[in-house]
Amino acid sequence: MSGTNTCAQTREPAVAASGGVSTAPLVALPEPMFPKLAPRRNASPRAVAAHQRARLHAAMIEACARHGYGSTTARELVALAGVSKKALYQRFAGKEDCFLATYDLVVRQAMDRISSAYRSAPDRESDWASGLCSAFDAFAAELVERPGPSKLALVEIFAAGPEAVERIERAETGFVAMVRQSLDQAPDGLAIPPALIRPLIGGVWFVARSRLLEGRAEEFARCGAELGEWLLTYRTSTSVPVVPTPMPRRPLDRADFYGDAADERTRILRAAALSIARGGLEAVSEAQIVELAEVSPATFSTHFEDTSQCFVATLEILSAQALARALRESDGASNWEAGVCRAVRALFLQVAEDPALARVGFVEPFATGPAGAGRRAAVMRGFSAVLAGRAPRDLQPTPLVAEAIVGAVWSLAQRQIAKGRSRQLPLLSARGAFLVLAPIVGADVAREAIKAELEV
C-alpha cells in the first residue's frame, strides 16, 4: 500500500525492504525527510496545503514504520515532514486525525491498484476465478513493494482504538465486493455464505499481518494460490447453520487463574488482566497493578520490566488456558468434528463470560506495538498447530491453511467484541465451527456435524 502521489514527487518515505521498519537511528529530533517549504510567490494556498498534507502523510508512514503509532509524537511528525507544528494543526485536528487520514489514503490507493488488477485479469470473462487470483497477486505485491504503508494499514491501525473498527470495516468492504463478484460468476451456483466472507478476509489479512511483523513480506507472495484455494473450500449451495447454542455440559473451570493464587507472579498477571478489562491498557499503571495484586513495586520489577511486558505475559497465559479449557470440553466427543464444535463453543463462551479474556486477547494486543502484536500472532500460530495436529491424519491441513482458519475465527470473534457484542458471541459458535471444519472435511460434512452437535 502506498503513501501519497504528491509525496512521490519529492521523496518516498524511507522504509526498509524487510517488513517496512526503517534502519535509520532514532533521535530526539529526527532529520526532516524533506527540505523546509520555501515561500513561493505564485503558490496557491490550496497547493501549499496539499503539499504539507502529503509530507505529513509520508512522515506518519515513516514514524509508524520506525517504532509504531503509539510511540509517534506530533513533534516527530513535524520534524520528519519539514513543516511547522502550526501547519500540522492547520491540516489535521492532531496526531490521531493525521494517522486516520493517512490510513484512509493508503487503503484507497492500494484498493485502486488491487481493483485495477482484478478488472484487468487476462481471462476473467472465461475463467471466473482469474480475477480473484489477480487481486491476490496485487495484494501480495502491496506487502512486498510498499511494506511501510502496509504495516500502517494492517498492524498499526489497531492501535487507534474505537475509531479503527469503522476504518477496518470500510477497508474490508472492497475485498468483500471482489470476492462476491467473482463467486457470482461461478457456473455451478456454489457460493461462500455472505456471513463468512468478512471473517475469511480477516484470515487472509492475519496471514499477511504476521509476515509483515516478522519481516517476511516476500513469503506472502508465495501464499496467494494456496489461500485462494482455501477460500474456495467454503463454497456451498446452502447457508451455514445458525442454531441455538446450549450451555456447556459442565461448568467451565476458571479457578486455575482467577482463584486464590498464592503465587506472586500469577497474582500480578491476574491483577493486570482485571485492570485491563476495566479500563483498557492505556489506563493501567504499574501502581494500579501492584495495589490490586497486593505486592510491592520491587516484586513487580522482579518479574516484569514494565506494564507492556506484563501485558504480553497476561496475553499468553489467558490464551493458553482458554485453549486448554476449550480442548477439555471436546473430550468425550463422538468424533473429531463433534470435538471441534464443542471446542469452538467453549472458547466463545469463555470470551463472552470473561471480559478480561475478551479485552486482552482481542482488543489490546496491538496497543503495545510490535511486541504485543507479535506475541498475539505467535499465540494464534500455536492454536493453528494444535488444530492441524488434532485433525485426522489423512485430513490434516497445511500450516498455512491452519493459520488462515485460526485467523478467520479470531476475526469473527474480534468483530463482535469491538462492536460491544461479546455476550452474543456464543450464538456464532456454528459459524466458527464451520470456518474450522469446511476446508478440512468439506462443507456438507461440516454442516451435518454442526447440526448434530450444536442443535438443542
**Tens digits of per-residue pLDDT, 45-96?**
888 889 999 999 999 999 998 888 888 999 999 999 999 999 999 999 999 9
Is the domain of 24 the same as that of 85? yes
Q: Is residue 130 part of a domain?
A: yes
Question: Which of 96, 131, 147 finishes a domain?
Answer: 96
Checking if the pLDDT of 242 tops 90, the result is no
Question: Which of 62, 96, 130 finishes a domain?
Answer: 96
Is the domain of 46 the same as that of 137? no
Instruction: Please name the residue that has the C-alpha cell 480475477.
Output: 131
Instruction: Please name the residue that has the C-alpha cell 486516520.
Output: 100
Q: Is residue 104 part of a domain?
A: no
Query: Quick check: helix, strand or coil at residue 236?
Result: strand
Q: Is residue 368 part of a domain?
A: yes
Q: Is residue 438 part of a domain?
A: yes
Residue 1 CA to residue 401 CA, distance in Å, equals 24
Query: Quick check: helix, strand or coil at residue 442?
Result: coil
List pLDDT tens digits, range 160-190: 777 777 888 888 888 888 888 887 777 777 8
pLDDT band at 39 (very low <50, low <70, confident <90, very high): low
Is the domain of 422 the same as that of 273? yes
Q: Is residue 106 part of a domain?
A: no
Question: Which of 43, 70, 96 finishes a domain?
Answer: 96
Instruction: Please name the residue that has the C-alpha cell 523546509.
Output: 36
* Angle, helix 74-81 to helix 95-119, in steps of 10 degrees: 60
Is the domain of 299 the same as that of 372? yes
**Cα torsion 152, 317, 320, 438: sign:** negative
Q: Is residue 126 part of a domain?
A: yes
Is the domain of 156 the same as that of 268? no
Is the domain of 224 the same as that of 310? no
List pLDDT tens digits, range 412-442: 998 898 888 988 899 899 999 999 999 999 9
Residue 192 CA to residue 330 CA, distance in Å, equals 27
Is the domain of 384 the same as that of 282? yes
pLDDT band at 35 (very low <50, low <70, confident <90, very high): low
Angle 342-348-352 from CA coordinates, rounded to 5°: 140
Is the domain of 214 the same as that of 324? no
Q: Is residue 238 part of a domain?
A: no
Checking if the pLDDT of 366 tops 80, the result is no
pLDDT band at 38 (very low <50, low <70, confident <90, very high): low
Is the domain of 68 the same as that of 120? no
Is the domain of 345 the same as that of 201? no
Mean pLDDT, rounded, for 152-158: 88
Query: Quick check: helix, strand or coil at residue 40?
Result: coil
Q: Which CATH number do you get for residue 189?
A: 1.10.357
Checking if the pLDDT of 371 tops 80, the result is no
Q: What is the pLDDT of residue 12?
A: 35
Tally of domains in the chain: 3
Q: What is the pLDDT of residue 438?
A: 93
Q: Which of 2-16, 69-83, 150-164 has the lowest mean pLDDT?
A: 2-16
Nearest to 245 by CA among 440, 432, 436: 432
Q: Any idea how long the chain is? A: 456
Is the domain of 171 the same as that of 210? yes
Q: Is residue 237 part of a domain?
A: no
Checking if the pLDDT of 19 tops 60, the result is no
**Which residues lie below 8 Å from residue 74, measured CB to CB, with a gap of 6+?**
85, 88, 94, 95
Is the domain of 211 the same as that of 261? no
Checking if the pLDDT of 345 tops 80, the result is yes
More confidently predicted of 399 and 1: 399
Which domain covers residue 159, as residue numbers? 112-232
